[in-house]
Amino acid sequence: MPESLELAAFAVDEALAAGASQAEATCTIAERFSAEARGPRIEKLEQSTGRALSLRVFIGGAKASLGTSDLTREGLRAFIRQAVDAARFVGADPHAGLPEGAEPAAADDLGIYADDVARRAAEDKLEDALRLEALVRDYDPRIVNTSGAHVGDTRARIALVNSNGFRGSYAASSVQRSVAPIAQDGANKRVAGYGSAARGYAALESTERVASNAAARAVGLCGARKPATMRCPVIFERDVAAQVLGDVFGALNAANVAAGNSFFAGKLGEVVGSPLATLVDDGRLRGGLGTSPFDAEGVPTRRTVVLEGGRLRTFLYDTYNGRRLGAASTGNASGGGIGPNNFYLEPGPDSLEELIAATGRGVLIMDTIGFSTESVTGTYSRGARGYAIENGERAYPIDEFTIAGNLLEMLAGIDAVANDLTFDSTIVSPSFRVAEMTVSGT
């Protein structure tokens, strides 16, 4: 930690000495481990320590951003001169610049670093991957292959210093295990996947649970057929629901709003969703994979209610786009743009199975294929696979069909939300049901 802070502070001082009016440096030192098993052996093994420094320099309203992995003093000096020189050739922007005021780095224990990541032996991680692969293949004779069983972790130290007086650093860790089995279904192959991610191994779903969930998804699709074309309720299982929220997040991104590339533009303060739709971005959620004490600009993170009971309360901002739209940053600066911290739909009271039981006829979406979202209008269309629901039960697996609608109408049409929210990514969601969508099949 002292090394990364020292390097960031050195870069800021050198940039000011080279002629920058403002400067910001972020130094990241990350140790990564990744293993992939296929069959009875490890096929891929990677272990590395990465050291990088990113620098933003401003000369008036002109900005340049560069990155380097050469952290020697001599290398940094040359890199910094290059960054400052680059800014001299950039047009001025009245909104460019560092956040105003230097906030101290939060000292709260946010639960984002787990000691068991460093303690876990490499041999145990390799055994995890091999066991995950073996359990999936042993689950059912129809599982004939996998795309690999993966186990990995990262430990990182992040330090940020800017010329407005901000100086902060923190340590973070993350772990994951996942597998994608392939089931033989006559002449067809059914592919599915499942994974778990957390800050530490103690919080990760067990190898047995990951394997059984992944295998059950692949085998469950065997015998799938096209459903009838119809208008009906659609239930999005939580992993697919999170993908829908990813499209919604894009429209809440202030950079897209400022560019007129969002179906939420001009709707601030309006009711745009169901009373069951409350969307939150929480950068201080304990143990969340998107949790941190401050964002990529040093702005303290916070809990932001974006959509409250269907009413649009705010967009999500970094400093630059906040200035463009006359708003304060929400602490969502990320890698030169705007990103989620822990963005999620608040859960409801019922299980996924209870949502299914309350649906007389409809479809349960377990996976989507392809990409088609029109960001200005919200038009949504995806290929999908999952289950037909009849009389409140999963009747049979379905595949090779399309679901279509409009994201604004989908938000307004949410009539049930499940309680299966799991914080295993930066954008997550419980399963939810949309009252009616178009299903295009036979």
The string of pLDDT tens digits covering residues 415-433 is 999 999 999 999 999 999 9
Q: Would you say residue 1 has pLDDT above 90?
A: no
pLDDT at 101: 77
pLDDT at 104: 63
Backbone angles phi, psi at 250, to 5 degrees: -55, -35
Domain with CATH 3.30.2290.10 in the chain: 2-220
The Cα–Cα gap between 52 and 44 comes to 24
Residue with tokens 């969601």: 429
> Which tens digit of pLDDT belongs to each residue from 266-321?
999 999 999 999 999 999 999 999 999 999 999 999 999 999 999 999 999 999 99
pLDDT band with cut points at 50, 70 and 90 for residue 2: confident
pLDDT at 107: 59
> Which tens digit of pLDDT belongs to each residue from 350-398?
999 999 999 999 999 999 998 778 889 999 999 999 999 999 999 999 9
pLDDT at 106: 60
> 121 - beta bridge partners?
none
Name the CATH topology of 2-220: PmbA/TldD fold (3.30.2290)
pLDDT band with cut points at 50, 70 and 90 for residue 66: very high
List the structure tokens of 281: 């971005």
Q: Nearest CA to 128 among 214, 205, 192?
A: 205
Q: Would you say residue 119 has pLDDT above 80?
A: yes
With beta carbons less than 8 A apart as the criterion, state whether 347 and 358 touch: no
Looking at the chain, the whole-number percentage of residues with pLDDT higher than 70 is 98
Mean pLDDT of 122-136: 97
The Cα–Cα gap between 297 and 101 comes to 12
Mean pLDDT of the chain: 96
The Cα–Cα gap between 255 and 313 comes to 17
